Amino acid sequence: MNRLIFSKFTHIFEKEKMVAYYNSLKLNPIFVEKEFREILSCFENGYNPQKFLSKIDDVEIKDMLKSLLKSLIEQKILLRHPSEDEKEKRIHLAKISKPYIHVAFFLLTNDCNYACKYCFVREPMSSNFKTMTMTKEIALKGLDLYTRLIHQDEDLIHQEKVIVFYGGEPLMNFPVLQFTIEKIEQYRQQEKLPRHLKLLMVTNGSLITEEKADFLKKHNVTVTFSIDGDEKENLYRILSNGKPGFSSTVRGYKICQEKGLDINIACTLTPQNVSEGEKTIKSFAEYYKVKRIGFNMLLDNGITTVPDWYNKKASEFIIKAHNIFRKKGIRENRMTRKLEAFNKSKVYLYDCMAGGGRQMAIAPDGGIGICHEDTWNQKNYVTNVNETNFNPAKSAAYLEWANRTPLKMDQCQSCFALGICGGGCLINAKYKGSIWEIDERFCVQSKTILEWMIWNLYESLVV
């Protein structure tokens, strides 16, 4: 061990009297008092550790520094040779697997009785836009294709499988929703589909009735309601006639809640509800009494303009919500995923199932894309339900999405959030030119959350 040098993935964070050394691929910070930063600076260009220690006369301090160097080496913050960086990176790149479908979105219709101001489905709608509604024939072909694809690798069949019913508003095509769910149950009984397959429906809730709720409960469908807070905070969510949709959504929510359905909330972070801060957060905990929620930042697609402060404030809002929610046993999806990666020192390659080529989205006309946010435009179709021999592992589009991870993006290599980011939304990146661009809004979010996680860990250690 002639020389030690800082890894190119090492980043240094300072707060008050403390410094955190952090390798963005090891995800395990080492905390030292700030006075040691200058002492350790000799390793920036490479330095002999024996020579370094020989300058220390105090035995106790020398032993402490030996232990510190050992920890810094174990976490790849200090390297014996710069080539260790590429070895570490290759370990994680080797985890990129061939595309394999876990999740299927059934886009039952592009029609909706709401006209939410930020809706990404509105973006590809031109003046000659035509409503599309999935038929039972298309739904069955899509289900058969999904059934075949999940059996392409029997070693992965035991992993979580999910079918999501989406729109538009999926309840505007309830007959096909009902048909597909009943067919899924039949396939489960025939062991064509695994028993652990989860069913979800994303809805504005306004078309929920007692009878529909009973059907959804009977078939264990988790219902995700699109809700942005209380009535004031839902101002972006309006009916197609321009009137507020809040009361209609809440009525459907209460029906499902009273009947004991499994309920989630999907909240889009707008300047309005972010500005309301704790008031918004408490509405989810106290009024809706939700147990699981997911916060989504607005897409940077030009539909909705946001103030300059939005990216940072929305990220801080997620952290504030987490701090309140965790005391009440409420789980926020994105924070949970990042915390799991950080706490387990597990590099997070993708932020969604479309990333990695693990998802398919079936359009009402039978066209198939990778992401449900991208499949409303037919130019993004990769295949269709009639191509029964389709194999995502041989699809150029799926292979590209499988490889699109921050670890393969040059512009991400120096980022301290490299290992817990996942690259954000590929569709948001596409608005900048291609999926290989940076999702800038998510970039801010990942950095903000990582810094919080580092210092939150420190506070937990010193209590």
DSSP character string of 19-46: EEEEETTT---EEEETHHHHHHGGGGG-
The structure's pTM equals: 0.94
Fold of 103-396: TIM Barrel (3.20.20)
- Domains of the chain, by residue range, sit at 5-85, 103-396
pLDDT for residue 30: 98
Stated as kind and residue range, the H or E segment containing 429 is helix 426-430
Q: Which SS3 state, helix, strand or coil, does residue 78 take?
A: strand
For the chain, residues with pLDDT lower than 70 are 1, 122-129
The token pair at 254 is 């209460």
Question: Residues 336, 338, 343, 348: what is their CA dihedral angle, to the nearest 10 degrees?
Answer: 130
Q: 392, 387, 384: which is closest to 368 by C-alpha? A: 384
> C-alpha 24: how far from its chain's center?
19
The full DSSP string for 251-308 is HHHHHHHHTT--EEEEEEE-HHHHHHTHHHHHIIIIIS--SEEEEEEPPSSSSS---T
Q: What's the pLDDT score for residue 404?
A: 98
Which pLDDT belongs to residue 134?
A: 98
- Tokens for 18, please give them: 């403390």
- 291 burial level (CB within 10 Å; 0-12, 13-18, 19+): middle
CB atoms within 10 A of CB 173: 25
Q: Which residue pairs from 81-86 have beta carbons closer than 8 angstroms and sit at least 24 positions apart in sequence?
A: 82/5, 82/7, 82/8, 84/7, 85/7, 85/8, 85/9
CB-based burial, 402-438: b 16+ in 10 Å, e otherwise: bbbbbbebeebeebbbbbbbbbbbbbbbbeeeebbeb
The SS3 of residue 238 is strand
By the 8 A CB rule, do 61 and 39 touch? no
| CA–CA gap between residue 451 and residue 351 (Å, rounded) | 18
104 in Cβ contact with 370 (< 8 Å):
no
**Whole-angstrom distance, CA of residue 176 vs CA of residue 192:** 20
